[in-house]
Amino acid sequence: MSAIRLSFETFPPKHATGHGKYLEMLNTFQKYSPMFQSMTYGAGASDRSRSEQLVAKSAQSIGGRQFVPHLAGGGQDKERIKALVSEWWDNDVRHIVALRGDEAGKGEIKCAADVVATIREVNSFEISVAGYPEIHPKSASQEAELTHLKSKVEAGASRVLTQFFFDADVFLKYRDKCDALGMDVKIVPGILPISSLVQVQRFAKQCAATVPDFIIDRFSGLEDQPEATAAVAVTTVVELVERLNKEGVKDFHLYTLNNVPRTLAICHSLGIYPEQKLAA
């Protein structure tokens, strides 16, 4: 059995007609005994509603203690957040990823630390927050970002899920800086498989992450070769995870992008197999 533990991040379908397929995907991933499965949360009103409608169904499908909704609370009122997470608690949800997100209103909640503190007022949820090994695009410096991260931890966060990166040293230095600031919480690396070089470069530009030259070299020339890209993507993820595992990292948060075949390929390549194989 692998000593590596994964959690999976997914995003909700755009329409209710996709709920069945989404739940099927969650149940497929659940066979691989993840730490948890999280679902992203849109910033716009319609996206928020779409995410919230699916929480109860997902929690019922795989178990509320395994399903972890994201909550982007920036610009919202505290009472609305309290009512929402109380409803989630009633659906057996016990873990939330608390984010500011793009502020979509003029409510009392201004930052992710406010979201964490508001959730803490409701019940004893486990709370994960976002961390940025390089820099948040809106932060003045990494030092300012780390100060903000510490405020989220002090407000009650128990885990940090990082933005994606491709250089292991970037994460290891970030982990050391978090430790130096006295953040006694798990710093879990966020791992992004590459679907296309153009796409990941666009993602990286949006979130101020770096795509190293070795990644560009590795994926260049495969723009019209999706099967080869998928194979190289799995190899690249496995190399990064195994390097970090040698440095004592055991937990990893995989951004699945709802790609089931690639996610399962990564699991099997890391020695993580479905429950029925382990039972046999």
**Which residues are designated catalytic?**
9
Q: How far apart are CA 153 and CA 142, in angstroms?
A: 16
Q: Are 99 and 130 in contact (CB under 8 A)?
A: yes
HEC string of 200-237? HHHHHHHHCCCCCHHHHHHHCCCCCCHHHHHHHHHHHH
CB neighbour burial string for 77-103, b if at least 16 within 10 angstroms, e if fewer = ebeebeebbeebbebebbbbbbbbbeb
For CA atoms 161, 163, 164, 170, the dihedral sign is negative
Q: Are 111 and 148 in contact (CB under 8 A)?
A: yes
Q: Are 69 and 41 in contact (CB under 8 A)?
A: yes
